[in-house]
Structure 1
């Protein structure tokens, strides 16, 4: 079977519809439809039920999802193993959200390099949909993110719990969003809790989907926003920002996602170092 067909199938599952899958694969919607049609003909069954809300898997589709994941991951792992750089015994690809690299995964890198100097590491930044797809396809060995999805063959483990605190460049600012407030999209759960805590908030003038971007704007132009305590700790100590302690604090769990059938020698060592560093990070800033 052409693994491109299986990869397209998994992308449709992740995106929820053919349009989203086409955007992620950088092909036309008709190409996605043709690939799925070819796959269904090859398997002799219908994999998706198409409706106005998108696509849902048929019972046969749910059965095939597990096999498709295994197929794609096996091929990707073979490419991964063959492509190990000269002078190294293995390679490891780690993907994470931008904010989780800062003062967390970036600190993990030297620990891993010291523990396994003969392992080549590839570091990637991405959002949850791309990270999950990379894990499913086997292009990413370990993913660190805020809102993972459950997928066959992957284990989701909470790595740490961020404390999102409201900080401002104005020490006298009110403990609530104001005209200079920058809203950071920390995910649907944060949105729900934020809306419940500030029911009279009419909406931000500026929204950012990356915390680092919002933080740089606040530091350069003034304002306020919710950020993980570990990311603003140095700015608080330097007096560039003030923690508005009367404002509510929101919890934001961060998760590590990895294959169930992981290579214990390689991936297990990497996860162990991450868990230690995450525990230290929580203790340092909480």
Structure 2
């Protein structure tokens, strides 16, 4: 007994099937990279702000080295008695002079009365009242200044938000490009198969039936291409992860990238989103074209 398999009414791929799959793969990989950039910027911003919030610097000024030493000792005593202070580090005068070399030149800082610096690390779980601590330090002298890096924190947060907005805009443009390509490909497919579509209309096929056939084809092509794009993006992100680890865990002022669930789960949504966009765009395009033609 001869068996018959169900063949598609419209060509499954045609001459444009492979190029369309390749284009969708490129679009999917770019969308994944844009989404990964959004997630990486958010992770880096959180790491930076947490680090800045858990540390601050104290600058101790004085008219001479003796006065600076006395104020430095008093500041250390206050810090030692403050709950939540985890580590206190006095920056050596030679290290402080090196920080000023780009502006003053080498060896010129020795002739100046360079203020002493104290680096303070806080326990992240402890609730330290930094404002009250600043007032206690000011009671020693107005020359004892606490810098909680608030200005830097705000600038980093603004820069991170700008970077995230840019990454999201790129992602939206890529999704728009996927929609536009689907519309163009659907119209080209209908034009190439005009005789088949006309024959289907003659035998009583509805516009919705033909649109479903085209939608099924674009769903398959979209899913195939977007999954290839996801694999390509994952490969590139893995290379970037290895590169940052080779540089000591950081690269381009960003923390080391770890390919974990917090990154893979959002990336897995990209192929399905692109598949959905291409399928819906193709269906709506076919319905509109058929209504205008027949």
Using structure 2 for the length normalisation, give the TM-score.
0.23
Structure showing greater Rg: 2
Structure with bigger strand share is 1
Question: Which protein has greater RCO, CA pairs closer than 8 Å, 6+ apart?
Answer: 2
